[in-house]
Structure 1
């Protein structure tokens, strides 16, 4: 049944809205809560009503262990309709939500229980690690996207994902895998769910990259050498010395003799070799001298030693997918409504979410 308080009047025509609700209700009545892959049954409805986002929710009732489906239908810019259907003699919508003690418990050690809210109090340090908080928000955004636009994996893809998961963690034998699962309190079903979730996220990243391409040149790298000076005048003199040399400029060679060339013995405070994105140095050619630039309490001069274009391959594709995913998350974060139910709200990060 549609819960009255969750239904929002939309701007679409009454006929279209009525047809959508009728089709959706028919789908819910046909779904078997015990059937795996029920999300696939939603695809024909999505195809018939492409202007709406849809998310299928599975709810297991603690009172009688029965399971039911709910459906969220979102019209962008208008609102969300929540639809559910309850078979005869099952717990209806208004009576759901009873919570068992185990659902609020995080773990128990030697019979000593630890509730989730207690654990959050012990983990106050989490509020100092905004990167961890960002990842929690990111996972919520990912779960929402995968619920509305699932990534389907066949048996072969899941087996490949499981093999890759085990190799990445050194779980090369059944005994090693069993020990790893025991240490984490995981059963085989939980392990398969974990692997399937990781594979779905990888599929999501690939889909985002296809929809929001990233230019491969953004991954080009530049190798530079940087020399630091205590004063701007010393850095200027060093640049003039490098550029005044005949033949190819070589900051490293000049830097090795710089201390003797300057009257101040402590003029050079350090020399370092770095690899940075080519964009960070303006995509200049190898041999170009940059600076001087303010650098902390001193000044630095750099020279581009070499530029390395990104080459096609699996590693580059993964980096491009990660970059596209980071930008997708940042866009979603700006439009997200985020509510924290524990910890000091003043510490809640408000900037773009980093994805890692």
Structure 2
């Protein structure tokens, strides 16, 4: 709500307008003023000027204009606040079109409880916050992930078959696995930190079990097709890399034979901190290329890279081995399924009609 105050000051005790009878005349004029204000969002300035001019001739009312700019519409609503001669404040609301004052209308406004819609289907603020708490990943933009969440929910609309107990348990197990939660106590601690109750977690697991059904549509032939079209995305790389704030520190670790890079890094992190007080962080993984840091995903076998900018600092590393994707490996086909699913989401997002109300 935005407010403007008219010029104010003590009302003259002898002013006839301070009487209750004269206040009734003021109210009638205020209603005419309020009903005549423009309701287009880009005309709020004009409305403010009209009220200020009107209030300047009636300083005893100390008129104040309240402007409501509801989400999802180009229209605005107004309230006019006036001092009563016997004390207190009188609030006037007027809605020319449908007769519902905005204070009432806002509570049931079609967009007031939604953060966005996709193809006309809304995602509630509560639903979005639940999704944000549960995502727990940082590799994609939040806005895109919220849209993706609504797209999948659209696919689930009208689902007749509820998830089985086994499907819900599998979704809960996958949730814990992705976050490294190995036991009940650790899971409950994570949920408390994320602001999720056990009941909310159970509801999320039920939803994710249904989402898994949508994702599983891309297993089998869609996954094999994705693998054939993008084999580089499913190569496995064995890599060692080091991250730090200062490129010079990392560059020194690249000096020497590639095969000794890991040993040099291990020796470096055991030394006292450098002149900047920083100790490089060492990492090692054998993983599908898309799951490695972006600078390493296309590096050839037995090749060093860096230092290159990475996540606010720098990265230097070596890819020791590159293994072609095995179409019979379950982890490869699972990754291909997920990639096909994400490609479908990307295309749906590109063609959907998306309207943001809050973010």
- Give the TM interval when normalised to the shorter protein: 0.3 to 0.5
Question: Normalised by the size of structure 1, how large is the TM-score?
Answer: 0.40
Q: Which has the larger radius of gyration?
A: 2
Question: Normalised by the size of structure 2, how large is the TM-score?
Answer: 0.40
